[in-house]
Structure 1
């Protein structure tokens, strides 16, 4: 893949983004800046829907340029670090670089599957690099669902030449095309990069069969000292099992004929919009769960996933409809995770709750109230998928505190996606638009819910 050329030297670019090149948190800060650009672009697309104004398109173009610059800066910063640290320090357990292999799971059926964390490539984890086909050029990372779709919509085979040569798209008789596993996995990575749940530490695994069983920790064992001649105290560890069944996940987007034919950045906009829609649904499902009908209801998990709002094993702190006045409930939530032998490292709020906490002021001085050190140390994420219409008055929100990695929040993804296009569905013909439907299959489980705490019934500020 061709590397991006930065418009200025690395150190100058760092100063442009307000980062010290010598900072020991350089890579983390660059990644945060990069994610901010993606989030801002996602918010613009969410607000505009499928009809972007010219000003919005230009702003998205700027954000995409900055995101790509920051992505290259992350790569260069990691290469600098690798030059200093050619191998992991002794005692690190072989972790080394951030792109090292992630977790490996052994399923109940004896299959080994690899999980990836945020920032690691799902595509690389599930697909071995392939030898270039005759006449093919470039790298698989240069392939794009957005460009393939745009080429299909325009009937422009030259535009999607890379995808056709790589044979990663195939015609669908129903009107559209199938995306092969390798290109679908890259699209999944695009969606994961925008998912707050993935950013929080959820692990993504491939779903290859009809079901995948994951162990769920119900209670931990307790160790004890043994007196001479005495037996060890017997303690109980309880495991349950949760089963991941692939469920249909998809969306429909409406594209104007003007965007399809004339949009200079149409391929990026299309891919970002579709990926954002999938990411939003993954985030929403973490809170509210998944329900795909009532068929096979005798098999638990076949059609449903219980989100954190209804999971009885997730810790809860109840605010009883009161608005935040301090951070006590967040500290209580952290303590509940620690009581379960976990260590909270992230919190997720709705934008409303984040704003309420940011506006808290000290009594007397009127100065803004600083979060306690323990709360301030948590990574703070926000998503509009966090509900704010709960409770009897339909005005309560929630917040989650925990450790998504040790809670084993797992996203299971099938590596097949299908895309159909119609200019007849709904009012598309009348409005001179195209309806695009993309769908695949996925599921979600929480393997250790006691490492998450839900702060519930957060009321609005009166």
Structure 2
């Protein structure tokens, strides 16, 4: 008797993958919100880094203009794979309700965003595949804050540090606990008006000196990161994949859904990254 084996895997179109995985992850990931995203088809991406600008000088009309070159090197980013697998009943897989499909997709995209943020704002530790995070960064600008939040002076210092490099901070990122404490700060002891400035275009967004304050569970309590998005680069490979397969769970009438994405990141000017934290004793 002749027996043949076939796989039940179904490839999903790139456009559908973009709508189900790529765009939702970008919206949900705070790391991606505060960085510049570079899509690529390469396994290694060279991101240019200017360490010294070309020089200019005053010259008389008609005189030769002296040539100067910028000092340029690069950082090499190799996107690493992050993957998720979930198993659902075939009944749910066959449900044409958008709500059912949304629940499945939302779960995967939320976890992708969560794991990316935990790695981006954390440390790679002993991992051999996870990219190094902000807690591994050397050469950042340290801003010392009091043990307890009292005012926004540390944020003013962080903004000034970035401006000293010719940059604008595009986001502060803090833990929910710190955002709550900052939200409770008042203009004075006799005022009930908060120091945080509301954004008239987005009532749920908070601003500090015009810079958005973003909440992330991935940031350690007591630390706030100030990031200029042009100095924080996330490289995402274009081969994001999403597949369904009934064969692996044939005997239990279930369907496996597998999603993979390859990302990495780097900071082209470490001194531009501001880390606000209380001094350690």
Give the Cα–Cα distance (whole angstroms) in 2 for the partners of residues 380 and 284 of structure 1.
18
2:143 to 293, 297, 317: 317
- Tell me the distance in 2 between the aligned counterparts of 1:314 and 1:221: 24
How far has the Cα of 1:365 moved from its partner? 0.7
Name the residue aligned to 2:165.
340
| Pairing 1:252–2:85 present | yes
2:239 is aligned, of 395, 404, 415, to: 415
Instruction: Rate the CA distance shift 1:417–1:291 in 2: closer, same or farther, 3 A.
Output: farther
Give the TM-score normalised by the residue count of structure 2.
0.74
Counterpart of 2:117 (choices 269, 278, 283) is: 283
1:243 is displaced (CA, Å) by 1.2
Does the C-alpha gap of structure 1 residues 339 and 252 become closer, same or farther in structure 2, counting only changes over 3 Å?
same
Q: How much has 1:359 moved relative to structure 2? A: 0.7
Q: What pairs up with 1:423-438 in 2 under 5 angstroms?
A: 436-438=257-259
Structure 2: gaps (5+ residues): 1-5, 199-206
Q: Deviations over 1:125-160 (max 9, x none)?
A: xxxxxxxxxxxxxxxxxxxxxxxxxxxxxxxxxxxx
| DSSP-derived class of the 1:185 partner | helix
Structure 2 distance, partners of 1:257, 1:323, is 53
Deviations 1:12-66 (Å, cap 9, x if unpaired)? Answer: xxxxxxxxxxxxxxxxxxxxxxxxxxxxxxxxxxxxxxxxxxxxxxxxxxxxxxx
Distance 1:233 1:450 in 2: 30
Q: Greater share of helix residues, 1 or 2? A: 1
Aligned match of 1:271 in 105, 109, 112?
A: 105
- Corresponding residue SS for 1:305: coil
Distance in 2 (alpha carbons) for counterparts of 1:328 and 1:252: 45
CA distance in 1, matches of 2:18, 2:258: 17
- Runs of at least 5 residues in structure 1 that lack an aligned partner in the other structure: 1-172, 295-302, 389-396
Specify the alignment match of 1:191 in structure 2: 25
Q: Give the Å deviation of 1:361.
A: 2.9
Whole-angstrom CA distance in 1 between matches of 2:257 and 2:228: 36
Matched, 1:205 2:1: no
Q: SS at the partner of 1:415?
A: coil
CA distance in 1, matches of 2:194, 2:263: 42
Contact kept, 8 Å, 2:171 with 2:226, in 1: the verdict is: yes
Residue of structure 2 in register with 1:305 after alignment = 131
Report the CA distance shift for 1:260/1:355 in structure 2 as closer, same or farther (over 3 A). same
Alignment root-mean-square deviation, CA: 4.0
Report the Cα distance in structure 2 between the residues aligned to 1:423 and 1:319, rounded to whole angstroms.
56
SS in 1 for 2:117: helix
Matched positions, count: 263
Of Structure 1 and Structure 2, the greater strand share is in 2
Residue 136 of structure 2 aligns to a residue in which SS? coil
Which digits, 9 at most, give the CA deviation of each residue in 1:64-117, with x for residues without a partner?
Answer: xxxxxxxxxxxxxxxxxxxxxxxxxxxxxxxxxxxxxxxxxxxxxxxxxxxxxx
Which residue does 2:267 correspond to in 1? 446
* TM-score for the superposition, normalised by structure 1: 0.48
Aligned-residue offset at 1:383 = 1.9
SS across alignment from 1:251: strand
